[in-house]
Amino acid sequence: MLARVITFAVDGVDARRVWVEADIRLGLPAFTVVGLADKAVREARERVRAALVNSGYEFPLKRITVNMAPAYLRKVGPAFDLPLAVALLVASAQLDGESIESTAVVGELSLTGEVRPIRGALAIAEAVRRHGLARLVLPRARAREAALVPDVQILGVESLEQVVATLEGHAEPAPLPEPEQDASDPVPDLSDVRGHNGLIPGLEVAAAGGHNLFLQGPPGTGKTMIARRLPSILPPLDPDEAIEVTRIQSIAGLRGAAGLVTARPFRAPHHTVSAAGLVGGANPPQPGEATLAHRGVLFL
Ligand SMILES: Nc1ncnc2c1ncn2[C@@H]1O[C@H](COP(=O)(O)OP(=O)(O)O)[C@@H](O)[C@H]1O
Ligand SMILES: [Mg+2]
C-alpha cells in the first residue's frame, strides 16, 4: 500500500514542502530511503523501526521503499523521523489515511517513540500556512513558537502514541507548554557608562537612524562596553521584526521552548571568524553572524 505524508525541510531561513511517500509490498524484508537524503535521514530508518516497535505498533516485515520528493531538494537532519513513521503507519493500515489529510508532520523520534524538538518550527508553521494546510503536528516543546502563526491548528505531541491518538481524534491535542522563563541576562544599560559625553549623542543618533558606528580609541577605554549597551537604547522590536528574529534564531537552534523573541540581538563574533561564519554558508546553508544580528547589533 502507498501512503503520502506532507512535511517540511528547512532550507536557508525558509521551509519547503516535502512529500514522504512510503510503499509497502510483498518481498524480502528491506527498508530503503531514496530522494537526496543525508546521513541523519538514512539513519531515521533505525530510529523509526525501534520507535514503532517500542510504541506497540507493528513494523511491517515486507519490502518498504520510502521516497522523499522533490528529489532535488537536499533533506537534512532528523526532523523527517516522525513523518516517516506516520507514512509507515498509514501504508501498513495501522492509521487511517484520512486522518493525515491537510496535515503536515515534523519531529525527531527517540528509540522509545518519544518526539524530540526540532529546529525552525516558526519557519515551518509559516510554510504550512502558505501552502494552505490546516494542521501541523510537531514536538510539543516547539508548539508555542509555531502557534505564533495564525490560521494553522498546532498539534503539539510528545510521543508517537499521542500522534496516532490525536490524528485519529481519540485524544484532545495537548495544551501549549508553559512559557519558559527568559533565562538570558538582562540587557546592559547605557547608564553604567561614566563620561563619554561626546560619544553618547553619537550613539543616540546611530540608534535612532539605524546607522553604522565606528568607535576608535586605545584599549580599555570602553568601546566594547558601550557597543554592548547599544541595544538598550534601540526601540523595541515591532511584531513583524520579532517574528523575523524568532524565525532566524529558531533555525540556528538558538531557541528553547520560549515563544517570541523580545530582545534585539547583539552579536560580537571573534575577529578570526571565517567568511562562512560571518555571512553564512556551508551546505546546506546556515545563517552567519550577519544574519543572526538581523534587526539588532553586529559588533566587529
Ligand atoms: N567610560 C567608562 N565608564 C565605565 N566603565 C568603563 C568606561 N571605560 C572603560 N570602563 C571599564 O573598562 C572595561 C574595559 O573596557 P572595554 O569596553 O573592554 O574597552 P575597549 O573595548 O575599548 O578595549 C569595561 O568593562 C568597564 O568596566
Ligand atoms: Mg574591546
Quote the CA–CA distance of 178 and 157 in Å, as a whole number. Answer: 14
* Burial zone of 54 (CB within 10 Å; 0-12 exposed, 13-18 middle, 19+ buried): middle
CATH architecture of 190-298: 3-Layer(aba) Sandwich (3.40)
Segments of the chain assigned to CATH 3.40.50.300: 190-298
| Cβ of residue 223 lying under 6 Å from some atom of ligand 1 | yes
Using CA of residue 90, residue 10, residue 33, residue 81, what is the dihedral sign? Answer: negative
Say yes or no to pLDDT of 186 above 80. Answer: no
Closest approach atom of ligand 1 to CA 219? 23
Say yes or no to pLDDT of 237 above 60. Answer: yes
Q: Find the ligand nearest to 198 CA.
A: 1
Q: Which residue, by CA, sits nearest to atom 11 of ligand 1?
A: 222
Pocket test for ligand 1, best of 189, 192, 221 (most atoms within 8 A of CB): 221
Q: What are the start-end ranges of the H helices in the chain?
A: 39-54, 81-91, 121-130, 143-146, 160-168, 199-209, 223-228, 239-251, 275-279, 289-292
pLDDT score at 230? 92
pLDDT in tens, 155-183: 999 999 999 999 998 888 777 777 766 55
Closest approach atom of ligand 1 to CA 195? 1
Please give the model's pTM, rounded to 2 decimal places: 0.84
Grid coordinates of 194: 561614566
CATH number of this structure's domain 2-167: 3.30.230.10
pLDDT in tens, 100-149: 999 999 999 999 999 999 999 999 999 999 999 999 999 999 998 899 89
pLDDT score at 185? 64
pLDDT score at 182? 58
Segments of the chain assigned to CATH 3.30.230.10: 2-167
Q: What are phi and psi of 243, to 5 degrees?
A: -65, -45
pLDDT score at 262? 84
